Amino acid sequence: MNKAILSTKYPQFAAKLREYGYEIIPSETIPCHMPYERDHADLQCLIVNNTAFVLSCCKQLIHVLSCDYQVIPCGGRFSGKYPDNTCLSAVCCGDKLIGRVVSLDEQVKAYCHDHKIELINVNQGYTKCSCVSIADNAIITADNGIIHALQDTQIDVLPIGKGSVQLKGAEYGFLGGASGYDRNTRTVYFCGAIEHHPDSKQINDFCKKHGTTMISLTDHQLTDIGGILFC
């Protein structure tokens, strides 16, 4: 059975994923984070190939993931304040890892060096939240800095408008935080109805271009829950 790590603060999304055959691994609660991101999976775990980098305070995640991955506890400089809270917020694209390099955990950077994974630096610490992966070489983002950083790479980027995603306690959320991409099935799941997004047609066309299926988990507004990590 495939597994999915996500916040269970909104149980409707976990319930729908169970209907699609996924075993749910709940993210943990980190009190020192801002209230609206205390349970965000994409700040707690980063999976690269067969290795899972997990904040050392997330004991349950470390225990569960150790069954299937080499787990490396991280967070030597971790704090609940930006940008230290984004030490695992990065996006894998084939042999590349996109993130705010100065903020990334030192063990992540060492792994990338040892495994010849190119680090692509961006200014946005919340890189994972800001990007929707829809293929190993394609992402969707509203962040102009990420778009600029990837323009000379082979990564295909669809620029979209900001907003249209709710995040209670914040002005708005990110579409990456309201989604998750399962590489095994080439399916991107959205926490809410992607059909309600102003750029839904372009997003649909982009996914079709890369052979990716889109699934909206509910008919309600898109909600940033800290992403869905499939493993």
Asked, for residue 231, whether it belongs to a domain, the answer is no
* pLDDT band at residue 176 under the 50/70/90 scheme: very high
Q: Predicted confidence band at 1 (pLDDT cuts at 50, 70, 90)?
A: low
Q: What is the CATH number of the domain that holds 7?
A: 3.75.10.10
Specify whether the backbone of 192 is left (phi greater than 0), alpha (psi in -120 to 50) or beta: left
Asked whether residue 220 is domain-assigned, the answer is yes
Q: Does some domain include residue 60? A: yes
The verdict on residue 94 lying in a domain is yes
Could you tell me if residue 90 is inside a domain?
yes
Q: What's the domain count of the chain?
A: 1
Summarize pLDDT for 152-171 with one digit per residue, the tens.
999 999 999 999 999 988 88
- The answer to whether residue 72 is domain-embedded is yes
Domain, as residue range, for 26: 3-226
* Average pLDDT estimate for 141-157: 97
Rounded CA-CA distance 193/172 in Å is 16
Q: Nearest CA to 197 among 171, 161, 168?
A: 161
Q: How confident is the model at residue 77 (pLDDT cuts 50, 70, 90)?
A: confident
33 falls in which pLDDT band (50, 70, 90)?
confident
